[in-house]
């Protein structure tokens, strides 16, 4: 009786394991969250230099003050200042609140004008770091700045 070599079996099992692991990674890549922050990231990236130039020409600046009010609620105040440091009235100011570590919690808040300051209350459902992307628009000009805060 001849003994058979086990090499073909070992090679076949090894290739099967590699194939199974690759299929698992493929399934994970296809069905998991892609982590996109913005759907139009490529187009915005192409125009990034233009947006920076426009913002420098306007000379506007944004300042954000966020105070904890307890229970994950932030009292948010945004100051929109012109090139001379004066408050700009009549702007539309919005904050996109995003959690950098996990998607699904993005919310846009419109702030109300209060004597040149733009105020609002934002409830944060989780502790940790949050990105506050502030966009202020007056007539045809706009400025945007992102702040990272801890809840």
Residue 143 forms part of a structural domain = yes
Residue 70 pLDDT: 75
Residue 33 forms part of a structural domain = no
| Rounded Cα gap, residues 58 and 50, in angstroms | 12
36 or 93, which is more confident: 93
Residue 1 pLDDT: 53
pLDDT tens, 39-73?
788 888 888 888 888 888 888 889 999 998 877 78
pLDDT at 100 over 90: no
What residues have CB less than 8 Å from 76, skipping those under 6 apart?
Answer: 64, 65, 66, 95, 109, 111, 119, 120, 121, 122, 132
pLDDT at 115 over 90: no
Supply the CATH number for residue 87's domain.
Answer: 2.60.40.1930
| Rounded Cα gap, residues 138 and 145, in angstroms | 15
pTM of the model: 0.71
Cβ atoms 122, 39 nearer than 8 A: no
Q: What's the CA dihedral at 121, 111, 130, 148 to 10 degrees?
A: -120
Number of compact structural domains in the chain: 1
The stretch 70-77 carries a mean pLDDT of 85
Residue 60 lies in domain: 41-150
| Rounded Cα gap, residues 80 and 89, in angstroms | 8
First-to-last C-alpha distance (Å) of the chain: 74
User: What would the two tokens of residue 92 be?
Assistant: 């539309």
Residue 9 forms part of a structural domain = no
What residues have CB less than 8 Å from 8, skipping those under 6 apart?
Answer: none
């Amino acid at each position: 009786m001849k003994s058979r070599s086990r090499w073909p079996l070992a090679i076949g099992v090894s290739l099967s394991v590699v194939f199974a692991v690759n299929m698992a990674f493929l399934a994970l890549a296809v069905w998991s969250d892609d982590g996109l922050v913005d759907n139009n990231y490529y187009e915005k990236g192409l125009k990034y230099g233009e947006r920076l130039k426009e913002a420098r020409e306007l000379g506007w600046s944004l300042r954000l003050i966020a105070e904890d009010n307890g229970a994950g609620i932030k009292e948010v105040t945004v100051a929109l200042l012109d090139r001379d440091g004066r408050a700009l009235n009549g702007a539309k100011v919005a904050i996109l609140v995003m959690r950098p570590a996990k998607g699904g919690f993005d919310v846009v808040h419109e702030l109300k004008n209060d004597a040149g300051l733009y105020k609002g209350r934002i409830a944060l459902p989780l502790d940790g770091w949050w990105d506050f992307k502030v966009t202020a628009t007056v007539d045809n000009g706009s400025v945007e700045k992102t702040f990272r805060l801890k809840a």
